[in-house]
Amino acid sequence: MDGYLSVRPVKRSPKRETISVNCRHFLGDRPCRFHKAEGVKCLGCPYHSPAETRILVIKLGAMGDVLRTTSILPTLFKHFRNPHISWITRKESFELLENNPFLDSILETSVDSMGRLQVEAFDLVINPETSKESAALASIVKSKKKKGFGLSPKGFVFPYNTGAKEIFHMGLFDDIKKRNRKTYEELICQLSNLPYERIPPILCLKQDEIRFGEEFLSRKRIKGKRPMVGINTGGGTRWPLKRWTTKGFIKLGKRLSRQLGCQVLLSGGPAEVEINKTISAQLGRKTFDTGCFNSPRQFASLLNLCDVIVTGDSLALHIGLALHKRMVVLLGPTSATEIDLYNLGRTVTAEMDCLCCYRQACGESPNCMERLSVKTVYRSVEEQLNLINA
């Protein structure tokens, strides 16, 4: 039988064991989840799911980018028959992919994984990144088809297919990047030669992770009667200009508390420890600092408590969309066009010709993020709260 092994028994056992090595649930080094739960074995197993198309997704970059790329997974499942999907990423993003029902295998960039990838073969490799590290991985892996980007023997990145050329050119030329009118998800589907479907990122919290957030409320004695607005001050380290001003966050928090009776959950990453201390001290008792050293899934569990999330272009944005939260997104130096809010919120931008510059330093004063008014952001939050209550 194709995809099965018949294993010779030890002398004391008269029974041969049939093992389905081509099943999506087969792990090889331990029992599958259905055997553990119900004791079923391969032969005649009602959960048998043969893997007909082996797919590898390579996405190593920023954590938010990793999460938003999960939007292509349901389309892969529709487009290919019985796919077995593996994903390789860096250690910091690994948690974001856990408990994803569309993924059969998650690999971390490590010596062990590199060994595996030099042995295993795939039907399709998708690498949407132009970094040399991810392109090198795509070039090393054995696959019948490759979409996205590879690395040449001379050390330069190149597009494998026509669908990847647009992203390639956008990464090289600022004017092409600014002219783009497609969302990130549209571009990734185009690169992967997939039909575009408007699907948000996928992040599935477990019950114990949901309880983690609820326990935070209990510890802080937060009652759920008032609207909960999340203010995320983080923006990553690569583009420091993505962050709104500390003064802006403070004024916004005060207005939300005084005029709408909101409670504020303050969040950020390690780079925002001092900023969040300052904001928390200014806002007082209706503001609750969730900390800046939560794991990715703990961070998601805390954002899950919010009715509306105010954030820049950050991991919090993509987690919020995956959790179907109402969003107010503050944008400036990065592309507003590429961000789809899936009818879940509003973007706030300044009126400037130099938006989407992707610069790490700026000579404009005030710059695009400094020009965002508290009044506009406040009204956007109020609008989203009204939509929840409508």
Q: Pick from 129, 59, 364, 368: which is nearest to 235 by CA?
A: 368
Q: Judging by DSSP bridges, how do beta strands 263-267 and 287-289 pair with one another?
A: parallel
Domain 207-389: give its CATH superfamily.
Answer: Glycogen Phosphorylase B; (3.40.50.2000)
207-389 matches 53-191 in CATH topology = yes
Residue 135 sits at the vertex; the CA angle it makes with 132 and 138, to the nearest 5 degrees, is 155
In 3-state terms, what secondary structure has residue 181? Answer: coil
This prediction's pTM: 0.92
Contact 325, 316 (CB under 8 A): no
Q: What is the pLDDT of residue 169?
A: 97
Question: What would the pLDDT profile of 171-212 be if each residue is shown by its tens digit?
Answer: 999 999 999 999 999 999 999 999 999 999 999 999 999 999
What is the full DSSP assignment across 13-48? --PPEEEETTBTT--SSS--HHHHHH---STT-TT-
Q: What is the pLDDT of residue 1?
A: 47
Where do the domains of the chain lie?
4-38, 53-191, 207-389
In 3-state terms, what secondary structure has residue 142? Answer: strand
Q: Which CATH architecture has domain 53-191?
A: 3-Layer(aba) Sandwich (3.40)
Q: Tens-digit pLDDT profile for the chain (390 aa)?
A: 456 565 555 555 556 788 888 888 888 889 998 999 999 999 889 988 888 899 999 999 999 999 999 999 999 999 999 999 999 999 999 999 999 999 999 999 998 888 889 899 999 999 999 999 999 999 999 999 999 999 999 999 999 999 999 999 999 999 999 999 999 999 999 999 999 999 999 999 999 999 999 999 999 999 877 899 999 998 777 767 888 999 999 999 999 999 999 999 999 999 999 999 999 999 988 899 999 999 999 999 999 999 999 999 999 999 999 999 999 999 988 889 999 999 999 999 988 788 887 887 887 788 888 899 999 999 999 999 999 987
Contact 168, 149 (CB under 8 A): yes
Residues 352-390 as b/e (b if ≥16 CB within 10 A, e otherwise) read eeebbbeeeebeeeebbbbebebeebbebbbebbeeeee
Question: What would the pLDDT profile of 291-321 be if each residue is shown by its tens digit?
Answer: 999 999 999 999 999 999 999 999 999 999 9
Sheet of 142-151, strand order: 105-108, 83-89, 53-58, 121-127, 142-151, 157-159
Q: What is the pLDDT of residue 298?
A: 98
Say which amino acid occupies 26.
F
Helices of type H across 9-146: 33-38, 63-69, 73-79, 91-97, 111-119, 132-140
